[in-house]
Amino acid sequence: MAAKKKNLSIYLLAFLLFAGGVGFMMYSALSENCTYHLNVSEAVKVPSEKLKSARLFGVADGDIVKPANGLGASFTMHDLENPKDAVYVQYKGALPDTFEKGAEVIVEGRMEGKVFIAKTLMTKCPSKYEKSNREKA
């Protein structure tokens, strides 16, 4: 009888360790991949320490400063609906061909103070890539 009780406690301990490990892995995976999807006016209202990982949507505006090596850019990004709301973006990487002043952009990164440090920058496809009504007919 004592042997069965000993085996039961070993199985129970093994199950608790297994369940704890699975729970920890799920928590780690979900907390690391949590990214906020915000427009600029929403991001401006959130404290920068809470935006450790965010994806912002807006319009590249103002002076776009590109370094001499051609990689990256610094620019002001305005909200599509509230142009008065803006955030300064710094990006170090290859720029899309369609990136220019007035382009709709999506940046992913983090806030550091009042500056958004982008690790990726994408432009939304401009309407010149869409078929016109004449071509559809």
For residue 90, what pLDDT is reported? 93
Task: Retrieve residue 38's tokens.
Answer: 């915000």
The reported pLDDT for the residue numbered 52 is: 81
Q: Where does the pLDDT of residue 137 fall: very low under 50, low under 70, confident under 90, or very high at 90 and above?
A: very low
CA distance 90 to 75: 7
Q: Rounded to whole angstroms, what are the CA distances from 20 to 11, 12, 27?
A: 14, 12, 11
Looking at residue 69, what is its pLDDT? 82
CA dist 85 and 82 (Å) reads: 6
pLDDT at 83: 83
| Higher-scoring residue by pLDDT: 2, 94 | 94
Closest by Cα among 106, 109, 105 to 51: 109
Residues 69, 93 contacting (CB under 8 angstroms): no
Q: Encode pLDDT of 94-128 as tens digits.
A: 888 888 888 899 999 988 888 999 999 998 875 55
Specify the CATH superfamily of domain 36-129: Nucleic acid-binding proteins (2.40.50.140)
User: Percent of the chain at pLDDT above 90?
Assistant: 18
Q: 75 near 56, Cβ under 8 Å?
A: no
